[in-house]
Structure 1
Amino acid sequence: MVLDESQWVPEREGTVSSKLLQKAGAAPFVPVGIGGFAMVAAYGLYRLKARGKMKMSVHLIHTRMAAQACVVGAIMLGATYTMYQDYLLKPAAGRAQK
């Protein structure tokens, strides 16, 4: 049997946006972390001219730390949400069988 190659699409092929939507469905806090990182980075670049007498390196370190805090916070929220779903929303009968 010969397959028509014009209709065959590899399973893993997709655009970046489709992969991001799949990831957001599996872990809803991934877009929150990405958005928080982008907002802090954009604000840091915006405030670059108005940093006063602060050294450039110190300003960049503060911006980096704030952006990392957004990402780590999103990871912690995602882990807490997953633990909540796994341990509090499942019936206690499933745990009693062990």
Structure 2
Amino acid sequence: MSTDTGVSLPSYEEDQGSKLIRKAKEAPFVPVGIAGFAAIVAYGLYKLKSRGNTKMSIHLIHMRVAAQGFVVGAMTVGQDGSR
């Protein structure tokens, strides 16, 4: 028993590039947060060799907290700017 009415809905296929651009226009501070996160992680990895007597786990915790703080800050600023 088929209930095909012959009406087809157009399927909208969106590629990754246009989806990223659309999302960046909707929330412009999200790409800023991603870029800041990447920059802090890169800086933390660069400073990994010269961490001195600091344990590896403490260094990684500090790097994670800084990166998460930047992302949360960017999201907060983005939310306040959209109101």
Q: Does the pair score TM above 0.5?
A: yes
User: Alignment RMSD, CA only?
Assistant: 1.4
Structure 1: 5+ residue stretches without partners: 1-8, 84-98
Shift of 1:10: 4.2
- Between the aligned partners of 2:82 and 2:30, the Cα distance in structure 1 is 13
| % same residue | 57
Runs of 4+ aligned structure 1 residues displaced above 2 Å come to none
Partners in 1 of 2:11 and 2:29 — Cα distance? 28
Q: Unaligned 5+ residue runs, structure 2?
A: 1-9
- The aligned counterpart of 1:37 is 37
Aligned pairs for 1:75-90 (under 5 A) are: 75-83=75-83
Q: For the residues of structure 2 that align with 1:57 and 1:80, how far apart are their CA atoms?
A: 34
Aligned residues: 74
Higher relative contact order (CA 8 A, sep 6+): 2
Q: Using the TM superposition, give the Cα deviation of residue 18 of structure 1 relative to its aligned residue in structure 2, in angstroms.
A: 2.3
Aligned equivalents of 1:12, 1:82: Cα separation in 2: 28
Give the structure-2-normalised TM-score.
0.82
Note if 1:53 corresponds to 2:28.
Answer: no
